[in-house]
Structure 1
């Protein structure tokens, strides 16, 4: 709830920042109002789509809405900026300018919408826990983008014709704000001129374009190798689980004493609000026994404490040393319902035909010792042990047969006498009473008292258990758990500081392959199972998304080569995304991958704006060189405007603190880094890429005498 409340605040901040950026670039409130109105219309429409697909308002869909704010204004900005340009260039009114603009850019708007929607379509069909993340995010984003396209082609042109004013070329009184905007425009025009001059020098020099692109590809490779991989980041949820394990054979009173001591220690730690403890059960591996205990530590609200949950856990670990028990601290699972805690969870399986529990315990302890030597792992914990003090009942079958005692009935009778059984209930004095059958406490005070109990034989005679049974002291497991039909030992742990769960999983796999004897194996459970199964799933997703985008662009340009000018510009954004994640100390996890996939659509949109205009100019008779430069120059302002509007919407995410901060920062940094680099360097590289690929297909057509003018440009 706190995370959702935080994102809702971020939603409002992003809306304001996007409006400010649009206002700075467009220069008047009328022009700013038009794209700003596109935001609530598109987002409200997205709510209907979310309800239609059965989605709820949660952290993932709210993330999508925050990011959508910076995206849904794009189409409206392109229309408004183009109308402004047309009014100034031809000195015509807003109505006629809007008509002319729609003939020119409708194709580009539809193209960028199809490209950005194509990015999210494959993700909708993903399954599993990862698929839940991708699916909700994709549906929310795709519906917002499609609605923003409809708004840009319907509502925005009407608002332009109604609200915008024809520019006045005579003298007019200038306010300080108007002078500031005029100064900004003069500086921007000079900057655009220098940009066009730079393109004049490098567009036709293919080696420069290829060298820049290869440099960024190499950068992606090296930064990615040093960027830690993750799965679903663990957030500060304001709760800590403390697992207590006293030595085998400890009494419940001793375990409860340790739990109460830990409770007092935790209550003195700054940032802790309340602590509750229990003995006899630990929630991590669901271990039961007199030596098991749990403390549930609730922290104060994020705004009321100075330390993070990690820092408080480190302090608790230091303070709880010397209590005479194994105490480990864990956070709740990143996704409720997937496992019992954060970190990693696995099982050691005994796949031998018969299990020697003493040998299994040795193997388990040796495996834990080997895992403990790895720097990637910490907080290793298992409740399985085969050295619990026990009594074994040894039955003499021959003696039992001689006495006429059925072994099955004898064990059933012993279970009732020692463990009790519910027989019936009755109502007396207006109340309901339950009847339990069990031997009196004085007859089951000591283990040897079992031999003094009696069971009835086939002749109805009472036979003492001592006549056919004896008791031997043994050591064995407290409980036997099975996983996939095999005897198993549950193991929990955390990635060490500076490492991710992906690195921890890889380290465990290496240790298991190198040290486990024949007949033993490991199996993952909880979120660790999905993380281990996912493997290189993100790479496959990325490739599928690229294929979808390529097919959409191939249909748009009626060429299999021109779309490559868009796709080959993407490594620039990927490098920027990885670099900012690395600089901020974040992981390449599922949130980063969502941001990366979204970048394909955003940077593809920028490239489409340039390439679409260049293709139009080339069809109108301009050379490929001229078309590339003119397309980049004309689209330079709207590209920077839409990109910086999107980046402004990400600032609250990147600066997030408190609940859900890691997810906010990761998805924000992934998108911001990619957008910054993809925009700044993309506007330089994309015209050169268009020049390279357009030259390859110049004069060649798939269909002879083909009429290749799009319907959106017919007059």
Structure 2
């Protein structure tokens, strides 16, 4: 945990530096860089106060939120700063007047972008289910950091600009020269072509949106990517009746082969409990010192175990959900007959082994486990006053070793005392026969007086739910495959076996949480979209302009999914959160475009000229904010440090989606705006007349009739 927190702090610092340097790339003014850079620590430190009020601590989740917020909290400051710089550069305003006028001009757009982004995190913060423990503090921390950044952009940034910002020699010509000018010329050519071929742009957008469904099936779904904690847990089971000596010797041999792997630092084996069962705890060297990931190392350990005959084994990663028994796939089959359940689970497990996505397949029920069986003569027991519960309590007391019989005091400390037979006694029926059980008539009697004890075979434990027996079939997901694909093949295996009437199945563990989280995220995304539309409608005092802005949202999703697919990642909880952030970030560009276009039209500029000029002016802040977000996320996306595997999926989603859809959003918003302008130019009565005229023409008989 300490290593993960340290890694996040490093990402936070490096991301802040990279995001600040984006300002210099576009403006080439060190004073502007410092003014923008101050917004990051000012926003982050102020957020600490709000986090204290919410009783949040600095942990992996909140630090991740702050790290992701680095490129976002500087956005508002960059937009305001760039507009101030433009007023000084193009309009010749002095820095005080430029700070006032530029902030006033851009105020509505900045407020709309920030509030519509903050509103996204409300459904996340209030999301229910198991995922709430992850996303609650994440959503609130992001929302608080972004709100603070709005305050900083409207106060600290203009104040510092009015005092320290000034143009250097030759900087007034910087905008008309260099790389940015070339980009601007190229963009304007594409914009003119797009406005002349609007149907082609609409067709491209439609194809892009439809590709979402294809990429969704290619990517697959997962719960949370397994974090590389440099630990593996393994166990194996030999045939019943195997001696403890043989099990121990085999464990030592396996440990020697595993420790010989250069990526393994420590192997501990345990053979306590059953004589034919052994556990391994494997510690790997740090991720930076090995070439193979923890999932690849799990495959390597499986290859070693597969060389031994008559052995059932598994290799597990530390649990994401917690608990000792951890398998991503846990299918629970329920029914009235235990023997039938055992046969169904055995056949289903056999079919599951045929799929490469499923490894370590193991049903929980084994009817052939050797055991001592106690058969109580109920009539004899009733005659001498022995109750069935007393017999079961006595056997459990001596065999389980879990019942506390007293407490041992030593000074101020107290220790629970339990009792259990020695290992060699627990397998001896004569010892069990001499066990004393309470009697209401005789005080105490030997167990052999009321029961017969013998050896037999049966299940090690029985699971019941709602008056039905249940059996679990466990499996791990092979490296490189998503959880939903493994779950689908598990369902297919069970259906191929066929469940008789009265039998059913369901999933527990990760698969259950995945389905629950998927529906919660879809609902949260729907609510976030509605909230965004309401905020934008209130800001623009229009129901149509928000629709234009939000057209960019569905266009960013396929690019985000493509980024996950090309990097070999699944759509998990973290990448879904990245998708939420992406939706809020992408529509920022549309707000800047639409807001300034409206302003120019209000000043009397024709629609087409206003569209072209507004997009030319807003190109630089859009590129600056986009690159600042990407730069701030680069340390997270690279995936260096403890816990980086989980965090990288968020950064990859945002960087890929934002970068790849940038050009399309820069073109589709002007095209959609031009359509809306034409729609508004025609009175509603004319539109109705046209529609009615077409309807009459369609039903009017032709002259030939």
TM-score when normalising by structure 2: 0.87
Query: Quick check: 1:570 aligned with 2:553?
Result: yes
Q: Secondary structure at the match of 2:597?
A: helix
Look up the match of 1:481: 463
CA contact 2:313–2:360 (8 Å) conserved in 1: no
Look up the match of 2:473: 491
CA distance in structure 1 between the aligned counterparts of 2:423 and 2:353, rounded to whole angstroms: 45
CA contact 1:235–1:662 (8 Å) conserved in 2: yes
Match among 485, 493, 516 for residue 511 of structure 1: 493
Alignment CA distance shift 1:296-1:583 (3 Å): same
CA distance in structure 2 between the aligned counterparts of 1:236 and 1:251, rounded to whole angstroms: 36
Alignment of 1:349-368 (within 5 A): 349-350=334-335, 352=336, 355-356=337-338, 358-368=339-349
CA distance in structure 1 between the aligned counterparts of 2:84 and 2:569, rounded to whole angstroms: 42
Alignment of 1:605-624 (within 5 A): 605-624=588-607
Cα deviations across residues 606-638 of structure 1 (Å, max 9, x unaligned)?
110000001111222222222211111110111
Greater Cα offset, 557-566 or 262-271: 262-271
Match among 368, 376, 390 for residue 357 of structure 2: 376
CA contact 2:559–2:656 (8 Å) conserved in 1: yes
Look up the match of 2:138: 137
Look up the match of 1:312: 297
Look up the match of 2:505: 522
CA contact 2:345–2:472 (8 Å) conserved in 1: no
Look up the match of 2:483: 501
CA contact 1:228–1:587 (8 Å) conserved in 2: yes
Query: Quick check: 1:327 aligned with 2:309?
Result: no
Look up the match of 1:548: 531
Following superposition, the deviation at residue 110 of structure 1 comes to: 0.9
CA distance in structure 2 between the aligned counterparts of 1:499 and 1:544, rounded to whole angstroms: 31
Following superposition, the deviation at residue 533 of structure 1 comes to: 2.7
Look up the match of 1:712: none
Following superposition, the deviation at residue 443 of structure 1 comes to: 9.9
Following superposition, the deviation at residue 526 of structure 1 comes to: 3.0
Look up the match of 1:600: 583
Look up the match of 1:213: 205
CA contact 1:573–1:676 (8 Å) conserved in 2: no
TM-score when normalising by structure 1: 0.86
Following superposition, the deviation at residue 241 of structure 1 comes to: 0.6
Unaligned 5+ runs, structure 1? 173-177, 282-288, 702-715
Alignment CA distance shift 1:559-1:244 (3 Å): same
Unaligned 5+ runs, structure 2? 685-705
Look up the match of 1:704: none
Following superposition, the deviation at residue 16 of structure 1 comes to: 1.6
Alignment CA distance shift 1:159-1:476 (3 Å): same
Following superposition, the deviation at residue 488 of structure 1 comes to: 2.8
Alignment CA distance shift 1:485-1:605 (3 Å): farther
CA contact 2:188–2:612 (8 Å) conserved in 1: yes
Following superposition, the deviation at residue 253 of structure 1 comes to: 4.4
Cα deviations across residues 310-336 of structure 1 (Å, max 9, x unaligned)?
22222212222316532210001124x
CA distance in structure 2 between the aligned counterparts of 1:59 and 1:660, rounded to whole angstroms: 9
Query: Quick check: 1:70 aligned with 2:71?
Result: yes
CA distance in structure 1 between the aligned counterparts of 2:285 and 2:142, rounded to whole angstroms: 34
CA contact 1:234–1:342 (8 Å) conserved in 2: no
Look up the match of 1:121: 122
Alignment CA distance shift 1:611-1:279 (3 Å): same
Alignment CA distance shift 1:438-1:34 (3 Å): closer
Cα deviations across residues 259-288 of structure 1 (Å, max 9, x unaligned)?
33333332222222222222245xxxxxxx
Q: Secondary structure at the match of 1:14?
A: helix
Following superposition, the deviation at residue 673 of structure 1 comes to: 0.9
Following superposition, the deviation at residue 205 of structure 1 comes to: 4.1
Alignment CA distance shift 1:513-1:13 (3 Å): same
Following superposition, the deviation at residue 244 of structure 1 comes to: 2.0
Following superposition, the deviation at residue 221 of structure 1 comes to: 2.6
RMSD, aligned CA: 3.6
Following superposition, the deviation at residue 376 of structure 1 comes to: 2.8
Cα deviations across residues 551-602 of structure 1 (Å, max 9, x unaligned)?
1111112211111111112233222211111111111111111111111111
CA distance in structure 1 between the aligned counterparts of 2:290 and 2:611, rounded to whole angstroms: 56
Q: Secondary structure at the match of 2:119?
A: helix
Q: Secondary structure at the match of 2:120?
A: helix
Alignment of 1:275-674 (within 5 A): 275-281=267-273, 289-320=274-305, 321-322=307-308, 324-335=310-321, 337=322, 340-341=325-326, 343-350=328-335, 352=336, 355-356=337-338, 358-397=339-378, 404=384, 406=386, 408=388, 411=391, 415=395, 446-448=428-430, 469-483=451-465, 486-514=468-496, 515-674=498-657
CA contact 1:258–1:325 (8 Å) conserved in 2: no
Alignment of 1:673-712 (within 5 A): 673-698=656-681
CA contact 1:338–1:526 (8 Å) conserved in 2: no
